[in-house]
């Protein structure tokens, strides 16, 4: 998976419009072997846009009815920083149950997993996969692919910001992709040993990336580097 994801990330870098990114989202659906993949962003002025493998009819209905205000996924993830399995969200209210009924009728699937993203200038986004697998199969799948989903979320968000804002690319290139991977995992609370294991690198190599990031950001230590990277919107947490 990691090799194929790295290759796909290279392809994503060539996207120049949201329409092109839309095509790549469908490619991610095949890569992750799930029924649907969605990237949904809300910028600092409240404007929303999405690239998704859901049907156009469902996308138009979702935004036309402003379902984000009642969607437990959006509301729940807005208060979280770590990836969220939809089964752990509150679906007890009537509005939430009715919404899920409409979503399932539109082919959304009974399982979902979303990565909350916070970018520069108040941007909030979600990277989501959904499917119709059984609970045990879904839990096994998400446990296996969480790290890859976090990395995919980061790069899709980075490309979407470049397309939307135009001036973000140079700033986001301050750190290499691997330096961002390392700092993201440390920012999420993983130890250096855990981060190295998740990235399949040695702790020595991880330290090299940390020191390189610290130098580029002009930080005095690792915590300072991560704080600066978060403030600059470079990390997905």
Q: pLDDT tens across 12-65, in order? A: 888 888 888 888 888 899 999 999 999 998 765 667 889 999 999 999 999 888
Q: Are residues 7 and 88 in the same domain?
A: yes
Residue 157 domain flag:
yes
Query: Which pTM does this prediction carry?
Result: 0.70
Q: Are residues 224 and 145 in the same domain?
A: no
- 160 and 185 in a single domain? The answer is no
Q: How far apart are CA 161 and CA 147, in angstroms?
A: 21
The alpha carbons of the chain give a radius of gyration, in whole angstroms, of 18
Considering 167, 184, 210, which residue would you say is the last residue of a domain? 167
Across the range 58-86, mean pLDDT stands at 89
- Token pair recorded at residue 57: 């009819």
Digit-coded pLDDT (tens) for 160-217: 888 877 644 434 447 888 899 999 999 888 999 999 999 999 998 999 899 888 888 8
Q: How many domains does the chain have?
A: 2
Nearest CA among 181, 138, 162, 177 for reference residue 32: 138
Give the end of a domain, one of 167, 193, 210: 167
Q: Do residue 20 and residue 70 come from a single domain? A: yes
**What's the CATH number where 213 sits?**
1.10.10.10
pLDDT band at 128 (very low <50, low <70, confident <90, very high): very high
Angle at 146 between CA 144 and CA 150, to 5 degrees: 150
Q: Is residue 163 domain-shared with residue 180, that is, in the same domain?
A: no
Task: Report the C-alpha gap between 77 and 144 in whole angstroms.
Answer: 21
Residue 98 belongs to what domain range? 2-167
pLDDT at 69 over 70: yes
């Amino acid at each position: 998976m990691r090799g194929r994801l790295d290759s796909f990330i290279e392809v994503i870098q060539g996207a120049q419009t949201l329409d092109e990114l839309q095509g790549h989202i469908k490619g991610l659906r095949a890569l992750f072997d799930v029924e649907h993949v969605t990237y949904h962003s809300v910028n600092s002025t409240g404007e929303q846009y999405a690239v998704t493998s859901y049907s156009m009819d469902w996308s138009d209905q979702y935004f036309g009815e402003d379902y984000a205000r009642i969607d437990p996924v959006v509301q729940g993830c807005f208060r979280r920083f770590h990836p969220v399995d939809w089964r752990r969200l509150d679906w007890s209210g009537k509005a939430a149950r009715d919404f899920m009924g409409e979503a399932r009728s539109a082919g959304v699937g009974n399982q979902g997993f979303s990565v909350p993203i916070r970018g520069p200038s108040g941007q909030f986004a979600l990277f989501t996969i959904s499917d119709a697998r059984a609970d045990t199969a879904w839990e096994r799948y998400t446990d296996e692919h969480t790290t890859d989903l976090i990395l995919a979320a980061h790069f899709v968000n980075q490309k979407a910001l470049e397309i939307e804002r135009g001036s973000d690319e140079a700033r986001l290139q301050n750190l290499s992709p691997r330096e961002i991977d390392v700092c993201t995992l440390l920012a999420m609370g993983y130890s250096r040993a855990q981060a190295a294991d998740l990235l399949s690198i040695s702790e020595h190599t991880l330290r090299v990336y940390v020191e390189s990031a610290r130098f580029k950001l002009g930080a005095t230590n690792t915590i300072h580097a991560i704080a600066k990277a978060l403030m600059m919107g470079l990390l997905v947490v």
